[in-house]
A and B are shown apart, each in its own frame.
Chain A
Amino acid sequence: MKSTARRQSYGVKGAPYAHPSPTTTLKRARSAPYFFLLPATVLFALFFALPIGYALWLSLHKVKVSGLGLGSGARKEVWAGLENYTDALSDSELLHGTLRVLGYGCIVVPVMLGLALLFALMLDSEKVRLAPFTRLAIFLPYAIPGVVAALLWGFLYLPDVSPFYFVLDRLGLPQPDLLDGGPLYLALSNIAVWGGTGFNMIVIYTSLQAIPAEVYEAAKLDGATPLQIALRIKIPMVAPSLVLTFFFSIIATLQVFNEPTTLKPLTNSVSTTWSPLMKVHRDAFGEGDIYGAAAQAVIIAFATLLLSFGFLRAANRRQKQEAAR
């Protein structure tokens, strides 16, 4: 028995099963994955499942105040049914916040992913110079916290300290207020585009690098220009990573919170309810209405899931159609 001899010579110190029978080995191998997954499962239960369940519970309840609301028994949590949900859905502030964020998303997502794709294709083109430097420079904003990014750009938008206003002033051009009205959307979008382009560029670029060179050779022999190769071969081949970056960008955009919150001290145009999540936060902590806030939170989560999965399904169907052709 060669294996027994080996087992003895490699015997594990202190292990209770220095000579395991095949069946015990199998049993151990069967239960081991559950032990390995125990920390993740416990953390998931405590910090994901339980809070989500609690938010659902809260969203279906309200506080009923009896009498003058004094004493410990005066405030009672009672069943509210769908009342919080109907309130949230007819809340004009929430609707306006949603529309603002949709408008903001319509700028951020196409511009950011367009730039990311453009830069990735440029990095991937032949004979390009300074590629390592520019790649690192464009990726750098990923390392900068959203709050700090908003703060930096916030100062660059302030007429007193901004180089843009300095240049406009010298040229005698009009100086728009970047932190108000329509330009505010551009100002906020710019922060998101600045912070997110590099990461998406790297994702697209790495999948471009994975395309084998032979794929282009036939096209090159046929005299295709780099532009044609980019449009007809490269972009279709990185479509899966474009879908993925699109998916994550939509989710991130709908959840925008940090940047408008950081710009708020610098301008009066960003209200405490500028984005839906800011409104949820205000209602929960500013107004103390955790029940209404929970219902809004559930609606936003549900809408996000619906939108992102709807997009993924549509993208998959398109890909299947393309493949079938």
Chain B
Amino acid sequence: MSSLAVSQAEPVAGAAPGTDQSRPPLRRRIALIPTATLLLGAIYCLLPVAWVVIAATKSGRELFSTFTFLPGTGFVENVQDLSAYRDGVYWEWMGNSALYAVLGALLSTCVSAVSGYALAIYRFRGRETIFNVLLAGVLMPPVILAIPQYLLLAKTDLTDSYLSVLLPQILFPYGVYLARIYAAAAVPADVVEAGRMDGASEWRIFTRIALPMMIPGMVTVFLFQFVAIWNNFLLPYIMLSDDEKFPITLGLFTLLEQGANTPALYTLVITGAFLAVLPLVALFLVIQRFWSLDLLSGAVKS
């Protein structure tokens, strides 16, 4: 009862306390300052996205002559030009990014799940050492790893291949960390024990009993790693020279490098950027309801 009374009498920012009437004015029912602040933040964050959506519809001439936020007429043409650029290399980049991100994130999630489960469920010698050493990987600056990785892969003739981009990204220390926290919370020890009593092998207990319980957390790990691989620029930048293996980030960068001094290529870069953002934004909107961000706060608390 007291909490109800309190929430009704709760003063809103900017209003003096103790003057509440039986019907509060509109100002009191909507917190104006927080709402306005958040709206400003949303506008700031959406501005470049809105710009690229509109700029992608403009023909090369319209881009420089019409007002920025006035939609143009050249979208279809821009997409055709982009698709025709160097025999459709743009779509190869998109395909490559999808391959790297899906396959990489899938493998990464499997490794994280099995490692996190082992670290959460078993008590064994070296457990904390292994965990801490794996986690220390997060702190290593990527360039510092990527250069010797490149030099070492060059010795085995693996550079400039799909594997050179895929392999270094499978171990995802943050994913192991999240998987451990999630397994500790989601897999009860007596369920594992019951599986042992029934004679199931440790591997079978993991795949048949524990893994299904860990699925929601593993979806989060997959999504984190998917975004991380899709957005990665540095590793492919160092590893690859054949542009048919480029992911979209690197492809767009080379397009920008060529296009910076030739405004005629601006429309290609802009349309390319717009189409590159689409899949991730779409994925984001669809999955944000499944994305268990509580896991993040759990990670923060412990």
User: B274 CB to closest chain A CB, in angstroms?
Assistant: 9
User: A104 CB to closest chain B CB, in angstroms?
Assistant: 16
Residue of B nearest to A251 (CB): B139
1/0 per residue A13-47: CB within 8 Å of B?
00101111000010011101111110111011011
Is A227 touching B18 in the complex (CB atoms < 8 A)? no
Contacts of A223 in B (CB 8 A): 11, 17-18
B interface residues, tally (CB under 8 Å): 114
1/0 per residue A245-269: CB within 8 Å of B?
0000001001101100110011000
Is A7 touching B31 in the complex (CB atoms < 8 A)? no
Q: Taking A40-B171, A40-B176, A152-B273 as contacts, is the C-beta distance between A32 and B42 under 8 angstroms?
A: no
Chain B positions near chain A (C-beta within 8 angstroms): 2-3, 6-7, 10-13, 17-18, 28-31, 33-35, 37-39, 41-42, 44-49, 51-52, 55, 63-64, 67-69, 110-111, 114-115, 117-119, 121-122, 124, 127, 130, 133-134, 137, 139-145, 147-149, 151-152, 167-168, 170-171, 176, 196-204, 206, 227, 230-231, 233-234, 237-238, 248-250, 252-253, 256-257, 259-261, 263, 266, 269-270, 273, 276-277, 280-281, 283-285, 288, 293-294, 296-297, 300-301
- Name A's interface SS: helix
A227 to B13, CA, bound (A): 7
Is B300 touching A206 in the complex (CB atoms < 8 A)? yes
A interface residues, tally (CB under 8 Å): 120
Q: Taking A127-B30, A163-B51 as contacts, is the C-beta distance between A241 and B297 under 8 angstroms?
A: yes
Is B117 touching A280 in the complex (CB atoms < 8 A)? no
Residue of A nearest to B120 (CB): A33
Is B34 touching A125 in the complex (CB atoms < 8 A)? yes
User: A75 CB to closest chain B CB, in angstroms?
Assistant: 15
Looking at A80-88, A140-148, A181-189, A314-322, the stretch in contact with chain B turns out to be A140-148
Residue of A nearest to B169 (CB): A47
A140 to B130, CA, bound (A): 35
Contacts of A122 in B (CB 8 A): 33-35, 37-38
Is B48 touching A194 in the complex (CB atoms < 8 A)? yes
Q: List 10 A-B contacts (CB under 8 A).
A: A10-B198, A12-B204, A33-B121, A39-B110, A134-B38, A141-B45, A143-B277, A207-B300, A251-B141, A262-B253
Contacts of B261 in A (CB 8 A): 265
Is B273 touching A151 in the complex (CB atoms < 8 A)? yes
Is B38 touching A131 in the complex (CB atoms < 8 A)? yes
Is A290 touching B147 in the complex (CB atoms < 8 A)? yes
Is B37 touching A240 in the complex (CB atoms < 8 A)? no
Contacts of A19 in B (CB 8 A): 199
User: B47 CB to closest chain A CB, in angstroms?
Assistant: 8
At the interface, yes or no: A89 with Cβ under 8 Å from chain B? no
1/0 per residue A201-239: CB within 8 Å of B?
011001101100100010011010111000000000000
At the interface, yes or no: A161 with Cβ under 8 Å from chain B? yes
Contacts of A140 in B (CB 8 A): 45-46, 49, 281, 284
A308 to B147, CA, bound (A): 22
Among A30, A161, A217, the most chain B Cβ lie within 10 Å of the Cβ of A161
Q: Taking A44-B171, A241-B300 as contacts, is the C-beta distance between A226 and B260 under 8 angstroms?
A: no
Contacts of B283 in A (CB 8 A): 143
Is A284 touching B147 in the complex (CB atoms < 8 A)? yes
User: A8 CB to closest chain B CB, in angstroms?
Assistant: 8
Contacts of B7 in A (CB 8 A): 126
Is A156 touching B48 in the complex (CB atoms < 8 A)? yes
Q: Taking A156-B48, A301-B140 as contacts, is the C-beta distance between A148 and B273 under 8 angstroms?
A: yes
Q: Taking A30-B124, A122-B37 as contacts, is the C-beta distance between A277 and B143 under 8 angstroms?
A: yes
User: A131 CB to closest chain B CB, in angstroms?
Assistant: 7
Is A293 touching B147 in the complex (CB atoms < 8 A)? yes
Residue of A nearest to B200 (CB): A12
Q: Taking A122-B37, A127-B12, A220-B10 as contacts, is the C-beta distance between A55 and B144 under 8 angstroms?
A: yes
Contacts of A298 in B (CB 8 A): 144
A10 to B259, CA, bound (A): 66
Is B13 touching A37 in the complex (CB atoms < 8 A)? no
User: B18 CB to closest chain A CB, in angstroms?
Assistant: 7
Closest 7 A/B residue pairs (Cβ): A206-B297, A36-B118, A137-B42, A51-B148, A265-B260, A163-B68, A32-B202
Contacts of B127 in A (CB 8 A): 33
Residue of B nearest to A207 (CB): B297
Is A198 touching B34 in the complex (CB atoms < 8 A)? no
Is B256 touching A151 in the complex (CB atoms < 8 A)? yes
Q: Taking A36-B206, A52-B148, A129-B30 as contacts, is the C-beta distance between A3 and B197 under 8 angstroms?
A: yes
